[in-house]
């Protein structure tokens, strides 16, 4: 599962370079713990344009990410875009690059990933990569982003309930499951 960082895993503090301001979102630790116990790989896919804008140094960003892992546990992959919108890169959400990169590190197809985020850009990146997108709205999520989301969950616990329940469904005939988390992620090589 691929999670957006700000507004999804941790409270959104715009251009945060201070690890002391990192605060997990409600249910984040429990949700990640359940996924890890189910052997589901977890990764972070995050835009960090504050680096390109000179508002956050790469070292400050790394310190914030280290604090996220200290509070929420280790992630199997981090895919970070430090570009600004004007840079025209292919990794910055809503482009699919971060999803594709994280999937490659996890050795799965992007089509077999679930992207969890709090804004439309996260859902657009999931759609562009062919991944399943689940929106967890916050007070900052726009009504049209909720309306256009492919799937909307109440919170991170709801997301994990949906994904793990889906994983308990029947395995298609002839499917070869080679990892415990394969049913959750719909694992396949690409």
- Is residue 87 annotated as involved in ligand binding? no
- Is residue 118 annotated as involved in ligand binding? yes
- Is residue 91 annotated as involved in ligand binding? yes
At residue 70, the 3 state secondary structure works out as helix
- Is residue 81 annotated as involved in ligand binding? yes
- Is residue 113 annotated as involved in ligand binding? no
CA distance 7 to 167: 26
Strand 77-81, strand 132-135: pairing: unpaired
> Is position 122 annotated as part of the catalytic site?
no
> Is position 4 annotated as part of the catalytic site?
yes
- Is residue 148 annotated as involved in ligand binding? no
CA distance 91 to 104: 13
Catalytic residue among 6, 62, 85, 166: 6
Catalytic residue among 4, 85, 112, 158: 4
- Is residue 89 annotated as involved in ligand binding? yes
For 97-109, letters b (16+ CB in 10 Å) and e give bbbbbbbeebebb
Query: Residues annotated as binding site?
Result: 4, 6, 81, 83, 89, 91, 118
Catalytic machinery residues = 4, 6
Query: Residues annotated as binding site for Zn(2+)?
Result: 81, 83, 89, 91
Query: Residues annotated as binding site for Mg(2+)?
Result: 4, 6, 118
């Amino acid at each position: 599962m691929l999670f957006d960082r700000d507004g999804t895993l941790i409270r959104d503090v715009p251009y945060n370079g201070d690890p002391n301001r990192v605060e997990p979102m409600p249910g984040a630790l429990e949700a990640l713990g359940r996924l890890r116990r189910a052997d589901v790989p977890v990764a972070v896919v995050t835009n960090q344009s504050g680096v390109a804008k000179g508002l956050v140094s790469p070292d400050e960003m790394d310190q914030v990410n280290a604090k996220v892992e200290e509070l929420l546990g280790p992630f199997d992959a981090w895919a970070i875009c430090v570009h600004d919108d004007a840079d025209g890169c292919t990794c910055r959400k809503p482009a699919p690059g971060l999803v594709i990169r994280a999937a490659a590190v996890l050795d799965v197809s992007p089509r077999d990933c679930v992207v969890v985020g709090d804004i439309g850009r996260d859902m657009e990146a999931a759609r562009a990569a062919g991944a399943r997108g689940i929106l967890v709205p916050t007070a900052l999520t726009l009504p049209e982003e909720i309306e256009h989301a492919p799937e909307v969950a109440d919170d991170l616990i709801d997301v994990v309930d949906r994904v793990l329940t889906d994983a308990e469904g029947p395995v298609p005939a002839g499917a070869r499951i080679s990892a415990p988390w394969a049913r959750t992620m719909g694992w396949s090589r690409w």
